């Protein structure tokens, strides 16, 4: 039963490959080129357009006891990635819309210009939401089920098989 639960949990994870840059205690700093995590994201093109780089530095729980220089497989909790995406993209937009709508409705009753009240309450709700999301993000970051895990050290043939055609496995 426990084994089945672990398989279900592993199936719900997204996986990325990377190279270990440093190991400190039970953590490993991994450089990764995002593939699966970004492949279905609607913002992937705007990330690249806005100067985002494909390489990322990630601190992960070193479950596989990897060493510096190892090619590894990371498991990212799908639930955490999707939830974070919702929090980062949707909640601020909804807060801005709600705040500006309330400003437009109640601003004249408070003696404010309708448009100024909408702008002020919109930005105020956006700022308050940002502060709340910072606290929520820190709290979620402490939970183990939302942390990135280093689950496997890849052998050279695993890396060569996963490289795109024409890519050098030593560069991967």
pLDDT of residue 7 exceeding 50, the answer is no
pLDDT of residue 115: 94
Eight-class DSSP state of 61? E
Asked if residue 18 belongs to a domain, the reply is yes
Higher-scoring residue by pLDDT: 97, 146: 97
Asked if residue 171 belongs to a domain, the reply is no
Averaged pLDDT, 68-91: 81
- Give the separation between CA 147 and CA 13, rounded to whole angstroms: 11
Asked if residue 80 belongs to a domain, the reply is yes
pLDDT of residue 39 exceeding 70, the answer is no
Identify which of 165, 150, 140 has the alpha carbon closest to the alpha carbon of residue 32. Answer: 150
pLDDT band at 132 (very low <50, low <70, confident <90, very high): very high
Asked if residue 168 belongs to a domain, the reply is no
Higher-scoring residue by pLDDT: 64, 37: 64
Asked if residue 103 belongs to a domain, the reply is yes
pLDDT of residue 32 exceeding 60, the answer is yes
Asked if residue 146 belongs to a domain, the reply is yes
Query: The domain containing residue 41 runs over which residues?
Result: 2-162
pLDDT band at 139 (very low <50, low <70, confident <90, very high): confident
Half-sphere exposure of 141 (CA within 13 A, CB side): 8
| Plot region of 66 (φ>0 → left; ψ -120 to 50 → alpha; else → beta) | beta
Question: If 0-12 CB within 10 Å is exposed, 13-18 middle and 19+ buried, where does residue 123 land?
Answer: middle
Eight-class DSSP state of 112? -
Q: What is the pTM of this model?
A: 0.53
Asked if residue 28 belongs to a domain, the reply is yes
Number of domains in the chain: 1
Give the tokens for residue 73. Answer: 């497989």
170 φ, ψ to 5°? -70, -20
Mean pLDDT of the chain: 76
The runs of H, that is alpha helices, within the chain are: 2-11, 36-39, 44-49, 78-85, 91-106, 114-141, 156-162
pLDDT of residue 126: 94
Higher-scoring residue by pLDDT: 81, 11: 81
Asked if residue 169 belongs to a domain, the reply is no
Element (H, E) at 18: strand 13-24
């Amino acid at each position: 039963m426990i084994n089945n639960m672990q398989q279900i949990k592993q199936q719900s994870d997204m996986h990325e490959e990377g190279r270990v840059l440093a190991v400190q205690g039970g953590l490993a700093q991994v450089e990764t080129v995002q593939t699966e995590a970004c492949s279905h994201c609607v913002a992937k093109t705007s990330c690249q357009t806005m100067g985002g780089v494909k390489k990322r530095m990630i601190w992960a729980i070193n479950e596989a006891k990897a060493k510096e220089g190892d090619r590894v497989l990371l498991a990212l909790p799908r639930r955490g990635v999707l939830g974070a995406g919702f929090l980062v993209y949707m909640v601020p937009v909804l807060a801005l819309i709600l705040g500006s709508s309330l400003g437009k409705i109640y601003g004249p009753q408070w003696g404010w210009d309708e448009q100024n009240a909408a702008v002020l309450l919109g930005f105020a709700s956006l700022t308050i939401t940002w502060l709340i999301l910072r606290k929520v993000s820190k709290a979620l970051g402490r939970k183990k089920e939302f942390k990135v895990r280093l689950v496997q050290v890849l052998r050279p043939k695993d890396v060569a098989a996963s490289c795109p055609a024409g890519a050098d496995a030593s560069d991967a």
